[in-house]
Amino acid sequence: MALLKVMPSKLAGEVKAPPSKSYTHRAFMVALLARDESKIINPLLSFDTEATIEAIRTLGAEVSQEDDVWRVLGTAGELKPRADIIDARNSGTTIRLMSAIAALSPKLVRLTGDESILARPIGPLIEALNKLGAKARCEGPQGRPPVVVGGGLRGGEVEITGTISSQFISALLLASPYAKENVEITVTEELRSKPYVEITLELLDGAGAKIKRDRALMEFKIPGGQVFKAIDFDVPGDFSSAAFVLAAAALAGGTVRVSNLDVQSAQGDKRIIELLREFGADARVKGKTVEVSGGEELSGIEADCGDNPDLVPALAVLGSVAEGRTRLLNIPHLRLKETDRIHALASELRKLGAEVKEQPDELRIRGVKRLKGAKLTSYGDHRMAMAFAVASLVAWGETIIEGAESISVSYPSFVDDIRKLGGKVELI
């Protein structure tokens, strides 16, 4: 288990945001299903996305790389599994989205992952695939992985909840155009993390998929028998990952610039810019660069984070030292991530001296003047490890964070980037 040692630091300078994890996963999946050769430029190479690349190879794609350009010769939806097992590793996106895609396989395919993945719910998606004609079952208890899928999709009408994970909807949208008959999807209850469905639709639109949807993204009508055209896609920078650097700048800057961020992107987590301003930080957009200057006193905010769960770890850290109270609302789905992130944030930030209360679906935080160093665990969760590293930059004394190897799931260069900005961080 890797340990990350962090000392109080002042940050300044410029780094480049890593490529988007969400776009990378989806681009490779669309390319798998498309006809002919797709080009994916500058994808994120991380523990999670490598699981997806290996998965599409398993299902019949030919994948090659030259520098930052990846070429994928797709299957036109005629999957030919080279093996009957897909290992999603620690990637919830991989196991959920690829479960729907693998349902198109004529042969049954088993999808599994690490201990964290085996604890994450997937039952509603598997039930929906069954209703659409696939052979699909959960082998884990209470609708958990491993899952076994295959047999193809017939089509029809299906309902699926939007409260557990938007990935269920994205998964159905990727696979349904290849059903034999038309598919109608109705999302029940609230659709949380809606921007991730918008990212899926952006890539599907680029591949020529015909998907009718309402403005709220609660109803979809999808003609069957489609085949995607090849895509030529340049992966944008990742606001979800950049949020940690931008939050660190607000706390421990100096002026920090993060390039490769397009505010015109469909990514919901570009909202970090607006939220930093609400906290009182000086955040400016200059083309595709976001510049944040710290040193200003922050004030607590109240934010509905239903669509932006991946921002909550960074926001909770900001709230820990912001004057007054911060409330991060509508986040019950954070309990179903790599770990129970509501509990993990409350538990570990309290070790740093923060005043944090966890509620079933929210975090309540009262800012303190100074955090103090401590020994923390990341629970093997990449976003917890990065959040606690950011908090530790303004904690008195030394902080040790266990499980720092998890950072490579989404932002392999995070430690190097913080060090480049002047952060006193060290893997030990």
Distance CA 227, CA 225 (A): 7
Question: Along the 428 residues of the chain, how does pLDDT read in single tens digits?
Answer: 899 999 999 999 999 999 999 999 999 999 999 999 999 999 999 999 999 999 999 999 999 999 999 999 999 999 999 999 999 999 999 999 999 999 999 999 999 999 999 999 999 999 999 999 999 999 999 999 999 999 999 999 999 999 999 999 999 999 999 999 999 999 999 999 999 999 999 999 999 999 999 999 999 999 999 999 999 999 999 999 999 999 999 999 899 999 999 999 999 999 999 999 999 999 999 999 999 999 789 999 999 999 999 999 999 999 999 999 999 999 999 998 999 999 999 999 999 999 999 999 999 999 999 999 999 999 999 999 999 999 999 999 999 999 999 999 999 999 999 999 999 999 99
Question: Which of 188, 85, 174, 172 lies closest to 131, judged by CA?
Answer: 172
How far is residue 211 from each of residues 47, 185, 215, 225, 306, measured CA to CA in Å? 31, 11, 12, 12, 25
- Looking at 48, 269, 307, 310, which residue is catalytic? 310
Strand pairing report for 399-402 and 375-377: parallel
According to the model, what pLDDT value does residue 221 have?
98
According to the model, what pLDDT value does residue 1 have?
83
According to the model, what pLDDT value does residue 313 have?
98
Question: Which of 74, 185, 95 lies closest to 148, judged by CA?
Answer: 95
The reply to whether 361 belongs to the active site is no
Q: Who's near 352: CB < 8 A, 6+ residues apart?
A: 320, 371, 372, 373, 374, 376, 388, 391, 392, 395, 399
**Domains of the chain in sequence order:** 3-18+237-427 (3.65.10.10), 21-234 (3.65.10.10)
How far does the chain reach from its first CA to its final CA, in angstroms?
A: 10
Q: What is the pLDDT of residues 243-287, one digit of tens each?
A: 999 999 999 989 999 999 999 999 999 999 999 999 999 999 999
Q: Who's near 387: CB < 8 A, 6+ residues apart?
A: 244, 313, 314, 316, 317, 345
Q: What is the pLDDT of residues 204-241, one digit of tens each?
A: 999 999 999 999 999 999 999 999 999 999 999 999 99
46 neighbors 12 (Cβ within 8 angstroms):
no
Residues facing 293 on adjacent strands? 255, 282
pTM: 0.95
107 neighbors 81 (Cβ within 8 angstroms):
yes
According to the model, what pLDDT value does residue 201 have?
98
According to the model, what pLDDT value does residue 253 have?
85
The 10 Å Cβ neighbour count of residue 380 is 19
According to the model, what pLDDT value does residue 295 have?
78
